[in-house]
Amino acid sequence: MKALLLIDIQNDFLPGGALAVPEGDQIIAIVNQLQPHFDLVVATQDWHPALHKSFASQHTNHQVFQTINLNGLEQVLWPDHCVQGTLGAEFSEELEPRRIEAIFRKGTDIEIDSYSGFYDNGHRKSTGLADYLRGKQVRQVFVAGLAADYCVYYSLLDSLEEGFKTYLIEDATRPISPEGFKKAKADIHNKGGKIIQSGALL
């Protein structure tokens, strides 16, 4: 079975949002076109408590996009984003919701960030996504969404590590930093992931 994994297509990651990814809105039409071509569509939702420690606002004398050590892990400090229950945390209204069979929320623990849809950044806690996919007989995981160099990238790494044949749909993602995305793609390729375009699936 083939699954389409939609990462964090939420208002705060779209133009006008709190942590807007440049051109993030341009992936949505492609994602909607792709959905009927999969056996299973699953989404992740970045879902932070208001006082999450990945937010620069929770650290005095620190700026947004600075890096700190948070409980032993390197942590980029983000603007407040995807706060539970806010409009910014909602999926884009343009995203077709009807084929999404399950939503995996992440970033809910105030003390640790979670880029991947599978595990937190310390690999301490699982979201259950890998077992869910295995339970549905999924062998191939195709990843799209935002942001290419953070949550999409870390989800791809975990998907590979969990043994799924893993694909990045390149034109169905956008990065925060183009340089970061370049490195991420090289890493994914080196670890056995495939980088494809949506046209190959339509």
Q: Which is nearer to ligand VGL, 117 or 193 (CB)?
A: 117
Of positions 151, 168, 169, 188, contacts ligand VGL by CB under 6 A: 151
Residues 111 and 93: their CA atoms lie apart, in Å, by 30
C-beta of 55: minimal distance to Zn ion in Å? 9
C-beta of 173: minimal distance to ligand VGL in Å? 10
Cβ-based neighbours of 5, under 8 Å, separated by 6 or more: 42, 43, 44, 117, 141, 142, 143, 144, 145, 155, 159
Beta-bridge partners for 140:
2, 165
Residues 80 and 142: their CA atoms lie apart, in Å, by 29
**Would residue 107 be called left, alpha or beta, if left means φ above 0 and alpha means ψ between -120 and 50 degrees?**
left
Three-state DSSP state, 179? helix
C-beta of 19: minimal distance to ligand VGL in Å? 6
Q: Is 8 in the site for Zn ion (CB under 5 A)?
A: no
Active centre residues (catalytic): 8, 106, 151
- Taking CB under 5 A as the rule, which mask of x and - marks residues 69-88 in contact with Zn ion? --------------------
Three-state DSSP state, 92? coil
Taken in order 153, 156, 158, 161, the sign of the CA dihedral is: negative
Q: Which is nearer to Zn ion, 7 or 130 (CB)?
A: 7
- Taking CB under 6 A as the rule, which mask of x and - marks residues 114-133 in contact with ligand VGL? -x------------------
C-beta of 147: minimal distance to ligand VGL in Å? 4
Q: Is 12 in the site for Zn ion (CB under 5 A)?
A: no
Q: At which residue do the structure tokens 């623990």 appear?
A: 109
Q: Using CB under 6 A, which residues numbered 44 to 83 contact ligand VGL? A: 46, 78
Give the residues lining the site for Zn ion (CB under 5 A). 46, 107
Residue numbers at the binding site for ligand VGL (CB under 6 A): 8, 13, 46, 78, 115, 146-147, 150-151
